[in-house]
Structure 1
């Protein structure tokens, strides 16, 4: 029997097998209701996804199809128990069909007390953000059972991430506290990396990256994390403060060498584009050290390193010599344009009547905007992110 079949059969057994399955939210373990059985089974499968089970990820869709039908077929009197209502809400927010929430509302099968939670969850999954905010933000996630509270806090964080990133971060911290070791925690960590960057909280950003890479780097959704990490690193000035590069380098040690190399290449390219010359030099050198056995990566690293060198009068000649030695046939079309632009810029700087010799002045030079194409030929951010996720995926 395949691992996928075993996973699905185990999930079905846990849902519809013996009634002695322990469920923390229930006082009587011999009275596990069908909604809670199904919700817990889905979470069991999703927690396997968090640690990298592709079989669980593949089996999830089939399990959801079965559970969608079974949720809708449950007797109406079950929904007088708020624990079952919570199970239905968690189920819908975890990828299940929102049809179960519509059933609870029309005709109303739930108490007035549960109405905001169900209406808000339905609004959220249907993309009605303002309605979801009005219904869900006033609810105290801490007062709910751990699983329901964590699921709600994850939604509340998403509703506030643009307008109130600090509050969004607090909700995500709550998710991790309420649901450690689950897919909910994995999702919260992924999102917190972006929020910490948005808040410019370097210490928390570095802590979260380290935490995720050590605990969830094999998650099926790790590609999403890598994309967020690449997005953040493409905006980082690795040279400021002076110890930032060494700190981030230590964190990235938990990634495979090829993954680190490609992140450094992306950072070097965007640093060149944005005129962060020291940052470009540091990241290009790091990428080159990790490029053994890959001519393409080594050539790209040399290109970005040389492109940063030619902007400084002190290293102009050496940088131009590096550019001239690059094998253009190995480069992509976009990097080929960058090579041409860098060489054109270097030639223009050489022809300037007064070449700057002051070191401090040289450090502040950015690429001349009037040079043809120049470093704007670098790939735009979105295209770079799509490529880097493909390149560094395990």
Structure 2
């Protein structure tokens, strides 16, 4: 029971006045002494490390709900909390509750500095040695040592907030060798910290582990859950970019059934977000040479966009770029590409337009010498990947590495 709740109950008792006890015959108890007032339950105040970690978690939960202000304030709070805890007397860390709060702080984005301070203080108890040294090794990128120390700790044997963070770290340490166990640990993290940034991060991470494992049913279920519950998260933009790429790589059932499943999944999202996701899927499909998926997503995107809007322009670009290598669609798509106003495009889409026009020139020049001869169709050609796309793929790889080592 929190202090605020206890205080509220005690105030209600005082306002109600003294309690009168009725006698056994239903009388009013005249002449009897009033009952003694109810004493409030004893509540031990939180220690400084615990209070600081609780404050940080409350702020981070607002980040999961989409508060940009909370996101910007997080860095200042992390610095303030770290400085305050480092300034505490070494004896503070002899208490297990404070030591575990420090580990929770470090795994919540605080980094390794506080844990190095704890190790230097010499106050780490034997029972918490594996936890503290394992968390420090994890944050410093010493994976082999971190696995040896952290993976053997049961997340259910520590306080819930620490257990959720520990399960997240363990999942990152085992994901390459045992994706199934990594998924189990992410499930546990979500169960231990519902509605928090930890759940948001675990859900986001698990969706892509499932995509790698090819578990389409659970991938769809968790993706819908994320898009419903955390679509406003500060990290949702990055999620949608990676999610669109994952969608194009998954082995959906072929043909119309494949697109029906994709549409059913995205129909869970509000119109604005759905439009953006269709456009992201279309772009990712163009990059991967998947014309049918690109055309389906682009056409769905254009139905959700205002005519003449930038989104409608993007949808037209992606559709034309996908179809220009398809037999019988060349002239139509070339006219579309030539009519696009480059000034209205983002730099990455300008690169895509240049790549599509370059492909068109190659197709036309290759066809010109043999216009009078019988030509044998060589099949669809893959659109060249623009330099910006290659840079984006490299950036996503670096983001994956950062996410693997740190919560946020």
Q: Does 1:264 align with 2:278?
A: yes
Q: Within 1, Cα distance between the matches of 2:6 and 2:111?
A: 27
SS of the residue corresponding to residue 69 of structure 1 reads helix
Q: Does 1:321 align with 2:342?
A: no
Cα deviation, residue 218, structure 1? 1.1
Q: Does 1:289 align with 2:311?
A: no
Matching of residues 273-284 of structure 1 within 5 Å: 273-284=287-298
CA deviation vs aligned residue, 1:123-152 (integer Å, no higher than 9, x gap): 122222222112111111122221111110
Q: Does 1:83 align with 2:83?
A: no
Cα deviation, residue 162, structure 1? 2.4
Cα deviation, residue 205, structure 1? 1.2
Q: Within 2, Cα distance between the matches of 1:79 and 1:384?
A: 44
Q: Within 1, Cα distance between the matches of 2:85 and 2:326?
A: 66
Aligned residue number for residue 392 of structure 2: 383
Matching of residues 172-191 of structure 1 within 5 Å: 172-191=186-205
Q: Within 2, Cα distance between the matches of 1:182 and 1:151?
A: 11
What TM-score comes out, normalization by structure 2 length?
Answer: 0.76
Aligned residue number for residue 6 of structure 1: none
Structure whose alpha-carbon radius of gyration is higher: 2
In the alignment, is the contact (CA less than 8 A) between 2:193 and 2:199 conserved in 1?
yes
CA deviation vs aligned residue, 1:191-215 (integer Å, no higher than 9, x gap): 1121111111111111111111111
SS of the residue corresponding to residue 181 of structure 1 reads coil
For the structure 1 residues 100 and 277, does the alpha-carbon distance in structure 2 shift closer, same or farther, using more than 3 Å as the test? closer
Aligned residue number for residue 140 of structure 2: 126
In the alignment, is the contact (CA less than 8 A) between 1:93 and 1:151 conserved in 2?
yes
Q: Within 1, Cα distance between the matches of 2:297 and 2:394?
A: 17
Extract unaligned runs of 5+ from structure 2. 9-40, 397-408
SS of the residue corresponding to residue 30 of structure 1 reads coil
Cα deviation, residue 217, structure 1? 1.1
SS of the residue corresponding to residue 29 of structure 1 reads coil
Indicate which of 175, 184, 191 corresponds to 1:170: 184
In the alignment, is the contact (CA less than 8 A) between 1:194 and 1:232 conserved in 2?
yes
Matching of residues 114-153 of structure 1 within 5 Å: 114-153=128-167
Q: Within 2, Cα distance between the matches of 1:21 and 1:229?
A: 47
Aligned residue number for residue 4 of structure 1: none
Indicate which of 374, 377, 386 corresponds to 1:353: 374
For the structure 1 residues 39 and 29, does the alpha-carbon distance in structure 2 shift closer, same or farther, using more than 3 Å as the test? farther
In the alignment, is the contact (CA less than 8 A) between 2:305 and 2:312 conserved in 1?
yes
For the structure 1 residues 241 and 322, does the alpha-carbon distance in structure 2 shift closer, same or farther, using more than 3 Å as the test? closer
Q: Within 1, Cα distance between the matches of 2:101 and 2:53?
A: 6
Aligned residue number for residue 202 of structure 1: 216
Q: Within 1, Cα distance between the matches of 2:7 and 2:245?
A: 43
In the alignment, is the contact (CA less than 8 A) between 2:167 and 2:186 conserved in 1?
yes
Extract unaligned runs of 5+ from structure 1. 1-13, 357-361, 388-394
Q: Within 2, Cα distance between the matches of 1:186 and 1:83?
A: 26
Aligned residue number for residue 359 of structure 2: 341
Q: Cα RMSD (Å) of the superposition? A: 3.3
Matched positions, count: 353
SS of the residue corresponding to residue 128 of structure 2 reads helix
Which stretch of the first structure deviates more once superposed, 276-285 or 300-309?
300-309
Cα deviation, residue 294, structure 1? 4.1
Aligned residue number for residue 245 of structure 1: 259
Q: Within 1, Cα distance between the matches of 2:293 and 2:391?
A: 21
